[in-house]
Chain A
């Protein structure tokens, strides 16, 4: 049996860490989530010599403080999971800042190999780096790599494996001087900690002391809960030195610690490590930026790019989506023919096949959206979008990156909130991301579109285009205002600092994009089918059971018998005609008779379907709600259709058709339903406006709710989106109806 080593991969965002991970593991990787939070956990396997490497890709961070979930996760893995070695991917071109994380990793003391990455880019910038000298001064092996081409990656894996073998998990913390004032305090605090094994719980006392001085909330809380007395003594020492720093130097211990770390890095770099051979100040990337973030051209190009993304997603995505739709329709047909009529057939066709088809139907969109996200992020353009739009979106408590989720969800009418909510992954600030996730589903997605088209055709037949435009604008207005409202109430808090890197423009690798998209799509398929299928079956059951009482069903059967009997003479006439070989061809007569019979039977079927729907759980729910819903102008038929819209918004049209005894109505061909509703005195303009508002804002379809759960990390927010959105929708719908009626 070969040995197995765990290797953690740490590094700054934009250091090429993911590219190193892909180069190490190839497609042998797995994406999941850390329990309870939305930070991705990526793992993969690699081989080096006769060692099996289990590689854990930590989130990209600039530091190891307790301010963000990403940094906490990275720190926990390094300290609690005790990897055999860690690889620190460092962007050679921005060595000074990247080493800030390296120093913190060395202070923890994990066996560390530095991957001096993007050496090609650094060379083009005229930098030469003495890797050997750097390794001596850091006390850690340094391997030069160009992860894009794979250069140096096998050597990197070998170095990590060897270090892991040699050190056997032993921590060797790097000791840095933090100046006379802090060094004394650190020593005192470490001594206090040393006396209490309960408080340290296996962590290095000196490291804990430094973190305490940095004001690290997580460490301070943990110490309090482990040993209150020791914690109190530490806090007294910490407060004393903080007070001293403030009075004599006018600064904080945190800032001093950072200054000394940078000082330590500067002293290393000065010792013949980095040489700038020629000055090439205006890099290509800066030249591109003079156009792409130009005051006038920048926003124009960005609008073009966003519009292009939208078109690309939904035009290209539509092709495989149609195939998927056709396939599941065909499958439903085959299953329908093979199975005997009854509940089982209905369950398989309407519950299972429609449910699975519903999930897989989203797959093409998700693949495309993740490819686009990977392209925008890896190329560096996403950061520019955020940079240009920050001022605008900040007014609503959002982030410049919120624009992508909004557009994809249907900010340009016809999107889809499932990939839209997923696109919010590009936001790294928690509060802004949550506000974006919760408001993006207000946009006019492609499933709401046929509903709006039907409603505008009924109520605003002469101004359909204008009405649709107003609908889209209203959706934007509501989304932004609700975001502002949420950020001032339940997700309040200061906006996350916009201290963000603008990475140089780079050409993304196709391989990296494909791995990115595929892993996340697969994760979606696995999770969605397990959650969405049961819900789909549940919805089917609610619309089907308890069905019609036997005597009523018998009534419809009797009516069908009567119709068949009434057509019997006609059939006999046909037979007669055959005998007499009359002038008209027999086939024609037969066809006519059969057609008339089918039509008459269809009327009865549609009436029965309506009665069954009204008697089903969903139907009874709709009838029971009439008392309340009449405030907004809805009777039971509309209620059922709206409830059915939770499965997918376009189902509203089909269900309304059934409720009006027209049989299932194809959302794309709703002309008979439109005619029927136009002539109905109940369907006034007030009801129309009220219904458009409600449809725009009420609970997202359950695929979106599921996605909100995935992306927010809790069912709480998913439930919130259903309850809050429906409440808001109802309030506005009632207001509109009462004013306009």
Chain B
């Protein structure tokens, strides 16, 4: 399976988190919000200036800056499967 940076997902695309390479405060905040390996996410929107991005995970919406999203590798889900 190909993994790509979360930043490269398009709005409406769904993916599964493959790997999170953030430590310290950022890593902790990402985990606290339920972004863990194996979680399914969907990009629900982008801010008017294309950054930050809004994600749906575990039945709620959260925001993430592009440079923070770069710490997260995801495996995109086949659109047909969803």
Instruction: Name A's B-contacting residues (CB within 8 A).
Output: 62-63, 65, 67, 93-94, 96-97, 100, 125, 252, 254-255, 258-259, 262, 286, 289-290, 293-296, 298-299, 383, 387-388, 390-392, 394, 496-504
In the complex, residue of chain A having the shortest beta-carbon distance to the beta carbon of B30: A499
Say which one of B1-9, B18-26, B73-81 lies at the interface with A.
B18-26
Instruction: Check if B34 sits within 8 Å of A100, measured CB to CB.
Output: yes
**Cβ contacts A to B, 7 pairs, < 8 Å:** A65-B28, A97-B33, A258-B32, A289-B45, A387-B63, A498-B52, A504-B60
Instruction: Check if A96 sits within 8 Å of B34, measured CB to CB.
Output: yes
Ranked nearest first, the 9 interchain pairs of A and B with the lowest CB-CB distance are: A391-B49, A258-B31, A62-B32, A97-B34, A502-B61, A499-B29, A63-B32, A94-B60, A295-B48
User: Does B13 have its Cβ within 8 Å of any Cβ on chain A?
Assistant: no
Tell me which residues across on chain A come within 8 A of B37, comparing CB atoms: 259
Interchain nearest-CB distance for B36 vs A (Å): 5
Tell me which residues across on chain B come within 8 A of A501, comparing CB atoms: 33, 60-63
A394 vs B63: C-alpha distance when bound (angstroms) = 15
Tell me which residues across on chain A come within 8 A of B25, comparing CB atoms: 67, 496-497
Tell me which residues across on chain B come within 8 A of A383, comparing CB atoms: 63
In the complex, residue of chain A having the shortest beta-carbon distance to the beta carbon of B23: A252
Given contacts A62-B33, A67-B25, A293-B47, contact A96 B61 (CB under 8 A): no
Instruction: Check if B23 sits within 8 Å of A390, measured CB to CB.
Output: no
Tell me which residues across on chain B come within 8 A of A299, comparing CB atoms: 48
Instruction: Check if A293 sits within 8 Å of B62, measured CB to CB.
Output: no
Given contacts A387-B47, A391-B47, A391-B49, contact A262 B28 (CB under 8 A): no
Instruction: Check if A391 sits within 8 Å of B51, measured CB to CB.
Output: yes
A392 vs B47: C-alpha distance when bound (angstroms) = 11
Instruction: Check if A96 sits within 8 Å of B59, measured CB to CB.
Output: yes
A94 vs B37: C-alpha distance when bound (angstroms) = 18
Q: Which of B35, B44, B46, B58 contacts A286 (CB 8 A)?
A: B44
Instruction: Check if B34 sits within 8 Å of A262, measured CB to CB.
Output: yes
Interchain nearest-CB distance for B66 vs A (Å): 9
Interchain nearest-CB distance for A641 vs B (Å): 44
Count residues on chain B whose CB falls below 8 Å from chain A CBs: 34
A388 vs B59: C-alpha distance when bound (angstroms) = 22
In the complex, residue of chain A having the shortest beta-carbon distance to the beta carbon of B62: A501
Given contacts A293-B48, A502-B54, contact A497 B34 (CB under 8 A): no
Can you name 12 extra interface pairs (CB under 8 A) apart from A94-B60, A254-B28, A391-B49? A63-B28, A67-B29, A94-B58, A97-B34, A254-B27, A255-B27, A262-B34, A262-B36, A296-B48, A390-B47, A497-B26, A498-B52
Tell me which residues across on chain A come within 8 A of B61, comparing CB atoms: 286, 501-504
Given contacts A252-B23, A293-B45, A390-B47, contact A500 B63 (CB under 8 A): yes
Instruction: Check if A387 sits within 8 Å of B28, measured CB to CB.
Output: no
Interchain nearest-CB distance for B54 vs A (Å): 6
Q: Which of A62, A63, A498 contacts B68 (CB 8 A)?
A: A498
Q: Which of B36, B49, B58, B65 contacts A392 (CB 8 A)?
A: B49
Q: Inter-chain contact count A-B, CB under 8 Å?
A: 116
Instruction: Check if A390 sits within 8 Å of B51, measured CB to CB.
Output: yes
Tell me which residues across on chain A come within 8 A of B48, comparing CB atoms: 293-296, 298-299, 388
Instruction: Check if A502 sits within 8 Å of B63, measured CB to CB.
Output: yes
A259 vs B39: C-alpha distance when bound (angstroms) = 11
Instruction: Check if B34 sits within 8 Å of A67, measured CB to CB.
Output: no
A299 vs B49: C-alpha distance when bound (angstroms) = 10
Interchain nearest-CB distance for B80 vs A (Å): 17
A295 vs B46: C-alpha distance when bound (angstroms) = 8
Given contacts A252-B23, A392-B49, A498-B64, contact A387 B54 (CB under 8 A): yes
Instruction: Check if A499 sits within 8 Å of B63, measured CB to CB.
Output: yes
Instruction: Check if B36 sits within 8 Å of A258, measured CB to CB.
Output: yes
A299 vs B47: C-alpha distance when bound (angstroms) = 10
Given contacts A254-B27, A502-B54, contact A94 B62 (CB under 8 A): no
Interchain nearest-CB distance for A384 vs B (Å): 9
Tell me which residues across on chain A come within 8 A of B35, comparing CB atoms: 499
Instruction: Check if B59 sits within 8 Å of A93, measured CB to CB.
Output: yes
Tell me which residues across on chain B come within 8 A of A390, comparing CB atoms: 47, 51-52, 63, 65
A262 vs B32: C-alpha distance when bound (angstroms) = 10
A286 vs B25: C-alpha distance when bound (angstroms) = 29
Instruction: Check if A391 sits within 8 Å of B68, measured CB to CB.
Output: no
Tell me which residues across on chain B come within 8 A of A97, comparing CB atoms: 33-34, 58, 60
Most chain B CB inside 10 Å of its own CB: which residue of A100, A383, A392, A500: A500
Tell me which residues across on chain B come within 8 A of A497, comparing CB atoms: 25-26, 29-30, 65, 68
A255 vs B31: C-alpha distance when bound (angstroms) = 8
A295 vs B62: C-alpha distance when bound (angstroms) = 18
Interchain nearest-CB distance for B3 vs A (Å): 14
Tell me which residues across on chain A come within 8 A of B30, comparing CB atoms: 497, 499
In the complex, residue of chain A having the shortest beta-carbon distance to the beta carbon of B26: A497
In the complex, residue of chain A having the shortest beta-carbon distance to the beta carbon of B35: A499
A328 vs B28: C-alpha distance when bound (angstroms) = 53
Tell me which residues across on chain A come within 8 A of B23, comparing CB atoms: 252, 254-255
Tell me which residues across on chain B come within 8 A of A62, comparing CB atoms: 29, 32-33
Interchain nearest-CB distance for A594 vs B (Å): 68
Interchain nearest-CB distance for A505 vs B (Å): 11
Q: Which of B46, B49, B62 contacts A499 (CB 8 A)?
A: B62
A735 vs B52: C-alpha distance when bound (angstroms) = 40
Interchain nearest-CB distance for B72 vs A (Å): 11
A11 vs B31: C-alpha distance when bound (angstroms) = 17
Q: Which of B28, B45, B49, B64 contacts A67 (CB 8 A)?
A: B28
Q: Which of B20, B29, B51, B52 contacts A255 (CB 8 A)?
A: B20
Interchain nearest-CB distance for A2 vs B (Å): 39
Tell me which residues across on chain A come within 8 A of B68, comparing CB atoms: 497-499
Tell me which residues across on chain B come within 8 A of A290, comparing CB atoms: 45
Instruction: Check if A499 sits within 8 Å of B51, measured CB to CB.
Output: no
Interchain nearest-CB distance for A12 vs B (Å): 9
In the complex, residue of chain A having the shortest beta-carbon distance to the beta carbon of B64: A499
Tell me which residues across on chain B come within 8 A of A503, comparing CB atoms: 60-61
A690 vs B44: C-alpha distance when bound (angstroms) = 50
Tell me which residues across on chain A come within 8 A of B47, comparing CB atoms: 293, 387-388, 390-391
A501 vs B35: C-alpha distance when bound (angstroms) = 12
A289 vs B52: C-alpha distance when bound (angstroms) = 15
Interchain nearest-CB distance for B28 vs A (Å): 6
A498 vs B65: C-alpha distance when bound (angstroms) = 6
In the complex, residue of chain A having the shortest beta-carbon distance to the beta carbon of B57: A97
A502 vs B36: C-alpha distance when bound (angstroms) = 18
Interchain nearest-CB distance for B81 vs A (Å): 15
Interchain nearest-CB distance for A380 vs B (Å): 10
A499 vs B35: C-alpha distance when bound (angstroms) = 10
A216 vs B66: C-alpha distance when bound (angstroms) = 27
